[in-house]
Amino acid sequence: MKNVSGVTLFTLSGLNFKMEHRITLFFLTLLWYLLIILGNVALIFAIIIDKQLHQPMYIFLCNLCISGLYGTVGFYPKFLLDLLSSHVISYAGCMLQGYVIHSSTCSDFSILALMAYDRYVAICRPLVYHSVMTKQRIFFFVLLSWFLPLFCMFMNTASLLGVRLCGLHIKKIYCVNYMIVILACSPPKANVVIAYFNILFYFGHFLFILWSYIHLVRICKSSNEKWRKFMQTCLPHLISLIVFSTAVLLDVLYMRFGSMDFSHNLFNFMAIEFLLIPPIVNPLVYGFSLTKIRNKILSLSHLKKKDAKCHPMTFHITVKP
């Protein structure tokens, strides 16, 4: 294969639709992206301004929404641009997009693991909850849930810098590091080691979350009060976890082991499912399920309506003598 390591542009698979269909998809995608932004920002804003929501569970939820917004920034603006133009991306842009999407996904897993740990301590060890989940420890946990994904993905991306490439076309609708590895004339050993370490590390997060919920279900079954608390605070988290994990798992498995005989449109949908569904499911599930957040959002909307009634538009008419 020809060495094209001096390339500055990659071509993406894109969508093979007519322009009128692309324009329709552009407006639908833009509307979906605006809904994602609105839902997550509303939840973040409600948690920040209400001191009663400055509790570990809501702080972790706030960071989960921030992580979701961070990940969508790496995909939607470029995708919207591609719908109206050619599907090309610079080498630096490709590396940056892959880094943002990967690190956001890993950060989601870290935050979901923190939320599982928080629920485990709150329900299984309620007497020591406040001594375990102190402000200093919460700050450290949140910092770690952002630092580790950013660092792990930085090492993964850095191991691909300067690699010799033997292709220009990325068989995906957006850039990911694995697709650049496929284009490499010889995959760098450092990247292979780091990639498998990251996969095992975050698979460990998933196993921890799974273990914590199995343990929670066993304990909560013995008490109606605990089961009610589990359904109120843990069920939204469990729904988020299932939706996110399923979407990510399908993308990873299809990307690495899927057959190219499948429909290209199916492949594109599998690739973006975790960027479409979880970012909008999280604010909807938590906003409607958690009573404190729902009441806060409703009170904010009620205040806006009240202000509008209290300050009607007035017209001043001056009569000239």
The C-alpha atoms of residue 176 and residue 195 are separated, in whole angstroms, by: 12
Q: Is 260 a domain residue?
A: yes
Ranges of beta strands (E only) in 155-223 are 169-170
Q: Is 309 a domain residue?
A: no
Question: What pLDDT score was predicted for residue 34?
Answer: 95
Q: Is 312 a domain residue?
A: no
Q: Is 2 a domain residue?
A: no
CB 312 within 8 A of CB 282: no
Helix, strand or coil, per DSSP, at residue 170: strand
Q: Is 83 a domain residue?
A: yes
Q: Residue 99 pairs with which residues in a beta bridge?
A: none
Question: What pLDDT score was predicted for residue 261?
Answer: 60
User: What's phi and psi for 151, nearest 5 deg?
Assistant: -70, -45
Left if phi > 0, otherwise alpha if psi is -120 to 50, otherwise beta: which for 162? left
The string over 229-251, giving b where at least 16 C-beta atoms fall within 10 Å of a residue's C-beta and e elsewhere, is: bbeebbebbbbbbebbbebbebb
Q: Is 112 a domain residue?
A: yes
Task: Give the CATH number of the domain where residue 30 resides.
Answer: 1.20.1070.10
Please tell me the chain's helix, strand, coil percentages from 3-state DSSP, rounded to the nearest 5.
75, 5, 20
Q: Is 211 a domain residue?
A: yes
CB 201 within 8 A of CB 41: no
Question: What pLDDT score was predicted for residue 314?
Answer: 44
Write 246-249 long-range contacts (CB < 8 A, 24+): 247/273, 247/274, 247/277, 247/278, 248/105, 248/274
Total domains in the chain come to: 1
Q: Is 304 a domain residue?
A: no
Cα dihedral sign for 256, 259, 262, 264?
A: positive
pTM metric for this prediction: 0.83
Domain that holds residue 170: 9-299
The C-alpha atoms of residue 46 and residue 54 are separated, in whole angstroms, by: 10
Question: Over the chain (321 residues), what is each successive 10-residue block's mean pLDDT?
Answer: 60 78 90 93 87 86 92 92 86 90 91 90 86 92 94 91 83 85 83 89 88 85 79 77 79 66 69 84 73 65 52 44 37
Question: What pLDDT score was predicted for residue 263?
Answer: 66
Could you tell me which residues come within 8 angstroms of residue 313 by beta carbon, excluding any fewer than 6 positions away?
none
